[in-house]
């Protein structure tokens, strides 16, 4: 009887995939009944359940599962070699349960309506509009950098601990909610990942655990980038899965923060993406714009480049490739390049809400 149940559960992964893809073709239904209906209750429950715990429950959960899986393979190696199809069935049994749980608890958000619809943005922009935004961001970033340091040559040092940045990020969400109620956030559950060093070697700034709804941020990140990444991971908790959309949320919530250090982090974050987009098409224009930034901002950008370069390793492209495949399998056709797609949201948003020069 047990074997038959395992067989049916393992085989159920096929109709599950078909059902998810079919539901994904109806984003209005997903939006109404899941993303704005069931999901907020699920996420709130888990944030209340685990948010008070000072460490990452999800990280420990993953670690224990990994140890048990390795132990099982070692202990049953000869049995696995003798009955490979039975082992394959057991693997599919676990994957089927994980697939169901993932989509029930969070994954269906990948198929909700684009956030651009909430903001009434068409995400179509011209090169000139991108250039206008980058120039405005340079002016804004230069002003903030000088206001903070009183010296155009000094890099900005955000003077807060990681815990203080978590707490101050909530202020940004409170302000953002006044203008965009659908981005409200309460019962926080945002933590430094226990495996921050491993995340750094993999090239990740953080992740949301879809089973515990803890927002995990890479604790090794320089403070210069930490506020926006924190806002990004909370954006996942709010219910947005697409990376370009949570990049956009991370930018907005950090920009809406009254703290000048947060604002500097937000504007330079958007500036970095805008410059990268221009660089792909016009290297000379990129150099011209980069030279207009205060040397202190250039030092902050170099700080981030040095940080990631110091952890480069042969396995990083492998992890990036796996994540790229995961994103494409979950309705993000651009894969890992979807992070950069935030540029369209930034440009079209600021067409409606121009930066003051």
Q: Is the pLDDT of residue 86 over 90?
A: no
CA distance 181 to 173: 10
Query: Using CB atoms within 10 A of its CB, is residue 201 exposed (0-12), middle (13-18) or buried (19+)?
Result: middle
Q: Tell me the β-bridge partners of 190.
A: 215
CB distance 143 to 273 below 8 Å: no
Closest CA to 294 of 145, 150, 156: 145
CA distance 83 to 291: 64
Q: Is the pLDDT of residue 6 over 90?
A: no
CA distance 249 to 238: 10
The pLDDT of residue 76 is: 84
Tokens of 124: 């179509």
- Residue 339 — pLDDT band, cuts 50, 70, 90? low
Q: Is the pLDDT of residue 1 over 60?
A: no
CB distance 235 to 180 below 8 Å: no
The residue to which tokens 């700034």 are assigned: 205
CA distance 42 to 40: 5
Round the average pLDDT of the chain to a whole number and report it: 91
Query: Using CB atoms within 10 A of its CB, is residue 154 exposed (0-12), middle (13-18) or buried (19+)?
Result: middle
Q: Which sequence spans correspond to the domains of the chain?
A: 2-111, 115-352
The pLDDT of residue 7 is: 80
Each residue's pLDDT tens digit, 279-295: 988 999 999 999 999 99
**DSSP SS3 for 215:** strand
Taking every pair of Cα atoms in the chain, the longest distance, rounded to a whole number of angstroms, is 74
Q: Is the pLDDT of residue 115 over 70?
A: yes
The pLDDT of residue 2 is: 56
Each residue's pLDDT tens digit, 130-181: 999 999 999 999 999 999 999 999 999 999 999 999 999 999 999 999 999 9
- Count CB atoms within 10 A of the CB of residue 329: 11
The pLDDT of residue 348 is: 94
Closest CA to 343 of 270, 243, 288, 260: 270
Least confident range of 9-13, 43-47, 265-269: 9-13
Closest CA to 252 of 47, 115, 108: 115
The pLDDT of residue 329 is: 65
DSSP per-residue codes, 237-249? HHT---HHHHHHH
- Count CB atoms within 10 A of the CB of residue 118: 15
Tokens of 162: 């990681």
The pLDDT of residue 8 is: 86
Least confident range of 1-15, 31-45, 53-67, 322-336: 322-336
- Residue 5 — pLDDT band, cuts 50, 70, 90? confident
Tokens of 22: 């079919």
Least confident range of 50-54, 92-96, 322-326: 322-326
**How many residues does the structure list for the chain?**
357
């Amino acid at each position: 009887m047990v074997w038959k149940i395992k067989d049916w559960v393992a085989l159920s992964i096929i109709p599950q995939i078909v059902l998810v893809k079919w539901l994904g073709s109806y984003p209005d239904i997903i939006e109404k009944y899941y993303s704005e209906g069931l999901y907020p209750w699920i996420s709130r429950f888990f944030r209340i359940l685990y948010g008070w715990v000072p460490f990452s429950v999800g990280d420990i959960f993953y670690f224990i599962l990994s140890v048990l899986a390795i132990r099982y393979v070692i202990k049953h190696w000869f049995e696995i070699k003798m009955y490979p199809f039975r082992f394959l069935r057991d693997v599919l049994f676990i994957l089927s349960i994980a697939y169901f749980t993932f989509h029930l608890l969070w994954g269906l958000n990948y198929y909700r309506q684009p956030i651009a619809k909430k903001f009434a943005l068409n995400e179509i922009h011209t090169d000139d509009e991108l250039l206008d935004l980058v120039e405005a961001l340079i002016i804004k970033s230069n002003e903030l950098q000088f206001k903070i340091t009183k010296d155009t040559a000094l890099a900005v040092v955000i003077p807060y601990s990681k815990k203080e940045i978590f707490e101050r990020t909530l202020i940004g969400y409170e302000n953002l909610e006044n203008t965009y109620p659908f981005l409200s956030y309460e019962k926080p559950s945002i933590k430094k990942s226990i495996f921050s060093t491993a995340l750094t070697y993999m090239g990740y700034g953080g992740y949301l655990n879809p089973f515990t709804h803890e927002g995990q941020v890479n604790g090794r990140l320089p403070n210069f980038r930490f506020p926006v990444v924190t806002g990004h991971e909370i954006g996942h908790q709010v219910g947005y899965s697409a990376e370009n959309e949570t990049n956009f949320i991370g930018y907005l919530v950090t920009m809406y923060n009254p703290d000048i250090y947060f604002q500097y982090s937000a504007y330079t974050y958007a500036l970095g993406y805008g410059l990268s987009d221009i660089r792909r098409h016009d290297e000379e224009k990129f150099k011209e714009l980069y030279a207009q930034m205060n040397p202190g901002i250039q030092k902050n950008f170099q700080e981030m480049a040095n940080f990631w370069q110091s952890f480069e390793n042969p396995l990083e492209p492998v992890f990036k490739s796996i994540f790229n495949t995961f994103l494409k399998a979950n309705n993000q056709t651009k894969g890992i390049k979807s992070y950069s797609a935030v540029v369209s949201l930034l440009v079209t948003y600021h067409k409606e809400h121009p930066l003051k020069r």
